[in-house]
Amino acid sequence: MRFVKILLFIFVLSLTAGCSLVIEQIQQVTGNQVKNVSEKKTDIRDNANEEKQLYEEGFTPPTPSPVLKNILEDKGKGRYATVPYEASSVNQALQVMPEGLAEDAVYAYLLGLVGQNYKNDLDSLSSMIGPNYQAKMRVMEHGEAATVRTGGSSATPKSPKPSNVVILVDASSTMAEDFKGKSRYEWAKQYTSSYIKLLPKDTFVSVRLFGHKGGPRKKDKQVSCTKTQPIYQAGPTLVSKLEENFAKEKAIGWSPLVEALHASMIDLAKRQKANNENIIYVLADSSDTCGADLEQQINAMRASKLGVMVNVVGIDVPTKDENELTHLAEATGGEYQPMDNLIDLQQIARVHANEVKQINEPWQLRTIQKMVKGYQVSNDRLDLKYQEIVTNLNQEHQRLSDANTLIKNQKKINALEYKKIKGWIDSRYEGVKGFTEQKWHAKEAELEQSFTNAIQDIDQKWKQSKENLKQYEKQKKGLLDQAKKVIENPPNNNSEE
């Protein structure tokens, strides 16, 4: 069977309010060639700055090639492979599909309507950054222990470790965009208030905004990229004051994340005392957009004597930025966690607050806690990415199958043509599904092996410690049993539409 690279078509005209979508007829069909009619569209997500301005892009349908390699590398996507699914628009498009097309042209037509793009999701799955356990161990071991234990069960207590917490809140223009009913900026503010209320009363908290000055255009870049501002510097008991200060600022500019990290390190250095615990939390929907060198900043943080850990909470973050933010967190001993809903927000806030509450426990136990958490978070993210691909795949297969059945019932194809097209639909589904499962299991094994190696390392340090850690053996076992459950309970891979 000869497949041709068929560039489609479907030019959607949006008429005045109340009018239905009108789909232009395919203008010319010659043999297996369907004339391309490009559609111009805007990408609001990349609309924040002039560099990410509204742009025009030709609509590219998926390739009808049956070769798996071509499917996996294809950048095309069906016009109605959307959420929510526009079933009525698809049915209109099928109504106007010309009769007499060859099977490969019909298959290409269907893909042009509902075919998914798998390249970006599979690239994200393959490139997902796992936990940096050595960084977690290094930052936890920073400073002296809060207590010195002798050979017996007695302990000579030291003063509790002081803790400094810095929260960096992204107020760039994309944070004003809606995410599940409210702006990303509102989500960030809600997390910040919820988290601070859970902290021990002796914690010093600094909240710093970035991206709230200037504007989204190129002429605003210099102002926006050089201004970050602390809006709260106190204990955790004055949250109402923080909320007042939040209300005075809007999300309008670029994203000078690196500048905010640099300013935070200066603040922490001024407050540094012996055995300080220094933690930075970043709430953002993207990485730095000002052109600063994030890697250089990460290296400077790792080389400092402050022992700073960075945890990142991502709010609707694109894949490329997610990888950069994950690297920031993992390289400094923290974790990247995506926040998807109110339950996530509350749970992440509780976990982060508990980490601060536990700073006077032995660093070895805290390291194991951090390792187990990092392993769980990474597994959850891996499983989520896998489930997203499987869900899209199941949806595509169902929609292609329904469309194929519909045009058969409309007598636009005969039984033999229907069967051949069904074979291509099923083959596409099985090929992508098998490849996705292979990649998923490979990454899963990689995460498990790195976690096992890390636990062996910390267990050795545990045994070599001069502190008496016997009373913590039960907690240690509980943590490792918790991790074992993660390994033994993979997600259900039969997601349906």
Indicate if the pLDDT at residue 432 is higher than 50. yes
Indicate if the pLDDT at residue 463 is higher than 70. yes
Domains of the chain: 161-359 (3.40.50.410)
SS (H, E, C) 278-326: EEEEEEECCCCCCCCCHHHHHHHHHHCCCCCEEEEEECCCCHHHHHHHH
pLDDT score at 178: 95
**Strand 178-179 to 182-183 pairing:** antiparallel
382's enclosing H/E stretch is helix 363-409
Q: What span, in angstroms and rounded, lies between the C-alpha atoms of 205 and 201?
A: 10
Q: What average pLDDT does this structure show over 417-444?
A: 96
At residue 208, the 3 state secondary structure works out as strand
Q: Are the CB atoms for 197 and 190 separated by under 8 Å?
A: no
Q: What average pLDDT does this structure show over 237-258?
A: 94
pLDDT score at 399: 96
Residue (of 98, 82, 68, 80) closest to 21 by Cα position: 80
CA contacts within 13 A on the Cβ side of 401: 11
Can you tell me which residue has the tokens 């203008």? Answer: 27
**Strand 309-314 to 277-284 pairing:** parallel
pLDDT tens for 12-26 read 323 222 223 323 333
Q: What average pLDDT does this structure show over 258-268?
A: 97
Indicate if the pLDDT at residue 89 is higher than 60. yes
The most distant pair of C-alpha atoms in the chain lies apart, rounded to whole Å, by: 89
Q: What average pLDDT does this structure show over 102-117?
A: 94
pLDDT tens for 35-61 read 332 233 333 333 334 333 322 345 688
Residue (of 270, 309, 312) closest to 288 by Cα position: 312
pLDDT tens for 337-373 read 999 888 889 999 999 999 999 888 888 888 888 999 8
Q: What span, in angstroms and rounded, lies between the C-alpha atoms of 45 and 317?
A: 10
Q: Are the CB atoms for 92 and 359 separated by under 8 Å?
A: no
Q: What span, in angstroms and rounded, lies between the C-alpha atoms of 20 and 14?
A: 8
| Cα pseudo-dihedral 11, 16, 18, 22, rounded to 10 | -20
Mean per-residue pLDDT over the chain, rounded: 82
Q: What span, in angstroms and rounded, lies between the C-alpha atoms of 11 and 8?
A: 9
pLDDT score at 486: 66
441's enclosing H/E stretch is helix 415-464
Q: At what angle do helices 184-197 and 239-247 cross, to 10 degrees?
A: 170
At residue 390, the 3 state secondary structure works out as helix
Taking the model in full, what pTM does it have? 0.77
